[in-house]
Amino acid sequence: MSNRRMLVFNILRGAAAIFLALGVGFIFIVLSSDEPLNALRYLLIGPVFRIRDGVLSFNTTSFQTILAAMIPTIFTGLAVCVMFSASQFNLAGEGAVMLGGFVGALCAIYLNIPGWIHPVVCVLIGAAVSGLIMLIPALLKVKLGASELVTSLMLNYIIMFIVLHFLNYYFADRSKGATQTFSFQPTAQIPALIEGSSKLSWGFIVALIFVVIVALFMYRTKWGYAIRMIGINQPFSKYSGMKVGATIILSQVIGGILSGMGGSIEVLGRYNTYLWRELPGYGWTGITIAILAKNNPIFIPFAALFIAYLDKGCQLMSTYSDVPSEMIDIIQAAIFLFFAAEQFLAKYRQKIVVKNSRLEMENNNLSQEGRNA
Amino acid sequence: MENDNFIIQMKGISKVYPNGIAANRNVDFFVKEGEIHALMGENGAGKSTLMKILFGLEQPTEGEIIINGEEVSLTSPSDAISRGIGMVHQHFMLIPSLTVAENIVLGMAPIKKGILIDYKKAVQITEEVSQKYNLNVNPNAKVMDIPVGMKQKVEILKALVRGANILILDEPTAVLTTQETSELFKELIILKQLGYTIIFISHKLNEIKQITDRLTIMRGGKSMGVYETASTSEQEISRLMVGRDVILNVEKDKSQPTETVLKVRNLEYTNKWNKKMLDFLSFSVRQGEILGIAGVEGNGQRELVEMLFNLNTPDSGTITVNGVNIINLPQDKIRDNRVSLIPEDRMTYGIADAASIEENVISDRYTEKHFNNGPLFDMKMIHKESDKLIKNYAILCKSRKQQVKMLSGGNIQKVVVARELSSDPILIIADQPTRGIDVGSTEFIRNKLVHLSRAGAAVLLVSADLNEVMELSDSLIVLYGGKVVAYFDDTSALDDTVMGEYMLGLKHQSPEEIERVCHE
Ligand SMILES: Nc1ncnc2c1ncn2[C@@H]1O[C@H](COP(=O)(O)OP(=O)(O)OP(=O)(O)O)[C@@H](O)[C@H]1O
Ligand SMILES: [Mg+2]
pLDDT per residue over B223-233, tens digit each?
999 999 999 88
Q: Each residue of B79-126: pLDDT tens digit? A: 999 999 999 988 788 888 888 988 888 877 555 555 556 788 888 888
Residues B131 and B155 occupy one common structural domain:
yes
Taking any CB pair shorter than 8 Å as contact, residues of chain B touching chain A are: 16-22, 61, 309, 311, 330-335, 341, 343, 348-355, 359, 363-364, 366-367, 372, 375-377, 379
Q: For residue B19, name the pLDDT band (cuts at 50, 70, 90).
A: confident
The residues facing A285 across adjacent strands are: none
Q: Each residue of B377-423: pLDDT tens digit? A: 999 999 999 999 999 999 999 899 999 998 988 899 999 999 999 99
Residues of chain A found within 8 Å of residue B364, distances taken between Cβ atoms: 240-241
Task: Specify the amino acid at residue B5.
Answer: N
Residue A3: is its pLDDT beyond 70? no
CA B389 to chain centre: 21
Q: For residue A372, name the pLDDT band (cuts at 50, 70, 90).
A: very low
Q: What is the pLDDT of residue B71?
A: 92
Whether B178 maps to a domain, the answer reads yes
Choose between B344 and B429: higher pLDDT. B429
Residue A367: is its pLDDT beyond 50? no
Domain boundaries, chain A: 69-298
B376–A216: do the CB atoms touch at under 8 Å? yes
> Which of B197, B220, B242 is the last residue in one of the domains?
B242
Residue B1: is its pLDDT beyond 70? no
Whether B410 maps to a domain, the answer reads no
Whether B105 maps to a domain, the answer reads yes
State residue A26 phi and psi, 5-degree precision.
-60, -40
Evaluated on CA atoms B91, B94, B96, B100, the torsion sign reads: negative
Residues B230 and B280 occupy one common structural domain:
no
Q: What is the pLDDT of residue A348?
A: 57
Q: Which ligand lies nearest to the CA atom of residue B42 in the structure?
A: 1
Tell me if B90 CB under 6 Å of ligand 1: yes
Residues B18 and B139 occupy one common structural domain:
yes
Q: What is the pLDDT of residue B246?
A: 67
Residues B479 and B518 occupy one common structural domain:
yes
Residues B236 and B255 occupy one common structural domain:
no
Q: For residue A1, name the pLDDT band (cuts at 50, 70, 90).
A: very low
Residues B210 and B270 occupy one common structural domain:
no
Residues B253 and B237 occupy one common structural domain:
no
pLDDT, mean of residues B458-465: 90
Q: Whose CA is nearest to atom 27 of ligand 1?
A: B409
Residue range(s) defining the domain that contains residue B228: 6-242
The residues facing B170 across adjacent strands are: B201
Q: For residue A366, name the pLDDT band (cuts at 50, 70, 90).
A: very low
Whether B55 maps to a domain, the answer reads yes
pLDDT, mean of residues A32-45: 81
> Closest Cα partner for A132 from A181, A90, A99?
A99
Residue A238: is its pLDDT beyond 80? yes
In this prediction the pTM is 0.84
Choose between A129 and B126: higher pLDDT. A129
Summary mean pLDDT of chain B: 88
Ligand 2 midpoint to CA B437 (Å): 9
> Which of B179, B211, B242 is the last residue in one of the domains?
B242
Q: Whose CA is nearest to atom 6 of ligand 1?
A: B406
Kindly report which listed range (A48-52, A322-326, B444-448) carries the lowest average pLDDT score. A322-326
Whether B373 maps to a domain, the answer reads no
Of B18, B349, B372, which is closest to A236 when you measure between CB atoms? Answer: B349
pLDDT, mean of residues A189-205: 87
Choose between A321 and B52: higher pLDDT. B52
Kindly report which listed range (A298-307, B177-186, B399-408) carries the lowest average pLDDT score. B177-186
Whether B427 maps to a domain, the answer reads no
Q: Each residue of B319-375: pLDDT tens digit? A: 999 999 999 999 999 999 999 999 988 888 999 999 999 999 999 999 999 999 999
Ligand 1 midpoint to CA B203 (Å): 15
Ligand 1 atom closest to the Cα of residue B438 is 25
Q: How many CB atoms lie within 10 A of CB A186?
A: 10
Task: Specify the amino acid at residue B261.
Answer: V
ipTM at complex level: 0.83
pLDDT, mean of residues A8-23: 73
Residues B92 and B69 occupy one common structural domain:
yes
Query: DSSP secondary structure string, A116-156?
Result: THHHHHHHHHHHHHHHHHTHHHHHIIIII---HHHHHHHHH
Summary mean pLDDT of chain A: 85
Residue B218: is its pLDDT beyond 70? yes
Shortest distance between the Cα of A219 and any Cα of chain B, in A, equals 9
Residue percentage of chain A with pLDDT more than 90: 49
- How many domains does one find in chain B? 2
pLDDT, mean of residues A197-207: 90
Q: How buried is B500 (Cβ within 10 angstroms: 0-12 exposed, 13-18 middle, 19+ buried)?
A: middle
pLDDT, mean of residues B118-141: 85
Q: For residue A229, name the pLDDT band (cuts at 50, 70, 90).
A: very high
Ligand 2 midpoint to CA B39 (Å): 10
Kindly report which listed range (A9-13, A264-268, B89-93) carries the lowest average pLDDT score. A9-13
The residues facing B9 across adjacent strands are: B30, B66
Our separate counts of H helices and E strands in chain B read 17, 24
pLDDT, mean of residues A117-135: 96
Q: What is the pLDDT of residue A157?
A: 95
Residue B3: is its pLDDT beyond 60? no
Residues B116 and B92 occupy one common structural domain:
yes
Distance CA B435, CA B411 (A): 11
Shortest distance between the Cα of B137 and any Cα of chain A, in A, equals 26
Residue A330: is its pLDDT beyond 80? no
Residue A373: is its pLDDT beyond 50? no
Asked if B54 and B164 touch (Cβ cutoff 8 Å), the reply is no
Task: Specify the amino acid at residue B278.
Answer: L
Q: What is the CATH number of the domain that holds B146?
A: 3.40.50.300
Q: What is the 3-state secondary structure (H, E, C) of B451-520?
A: HHHHCCCEEEEECCCHHHHHHHCCEEEEEECCEEEEEECCCCCCCHHHHHHHHCCCCCCCHHHHHHHHCC
Shortest distance between the Cα of B267 and any Cα of chain A, in A, equals 21
Residue A156: is its pLDDT beyond 70? yes
> Which of B216, B242, B268 is the last residue in one of the domains?
B242
Map residue B321 onto helix, strand or coil.
strand
pLDDT, mean of residues A292-313: 89
